[in-house]
């Protein structure tokens, strides 16, 4: 049998304060996102890479969810011909209806 050389890993570990520092770094709007992308694909420290990926995946999922919601809202807006989605008159009509019960207070808009 040939003796194999032990594989060297780049797993230096990250201290507790290191994780706090990365959280603070990732909280900076544009710079944090840039560092998150860089560290998610960097192999120099496996623990940092895995931690960054655990933060980056939900970041991407929320971004996709928000982009989908905005796209849906834009499609609805365009399909209605760019009109106002909620008419002001509908709110006034709801508020100016006569009360069904005398104990309910309704605000009537002039």
Give the model's pLDDT for residue 70.
94
Dist. CA 104–CA 28, nearest whole Å: 49
Distance of CA 85 to the CA centre of its chain: 25
Helix axes of 29-40 and 46-79: crossing angle, nearest 10 degrees? 120
| Tokens 């049998």 -> residue | 1
pLDDT tens per residue across span 58-92: 999 999 999 999 999 888 888 877 655 555 555 55
Q: Name which of 5-9, 12-16, 40-44, 73-77 the model is least confident about.
A: 5-9
Dist. CA 98–CA 104, nearest whole Å: 10
């Amino acid at each position: 049998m040939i003796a194999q050389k032990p594989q060297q890993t780049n797993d230096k570990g990250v201290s507790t304060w290191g994780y706090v520092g990365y959280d603070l770094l990732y909280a900076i709007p544009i710079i944090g996102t840039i560092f998150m992308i860089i560290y998610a694909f960097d192999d120099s420290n496996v623990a940092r890479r895995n931690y960054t990926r655990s933060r980056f995946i939900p970041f991407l999922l929320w971004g996709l969810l928000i982009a989908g919601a905005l796209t849906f809202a834009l499609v609805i807006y365009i399909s209605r011909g760019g009109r106002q989605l909620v008419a002001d008159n509908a709110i006034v009509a709801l508020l100016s209806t006569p009360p069904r019960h005398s104990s309910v207070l309704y605000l009537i808009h002039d």
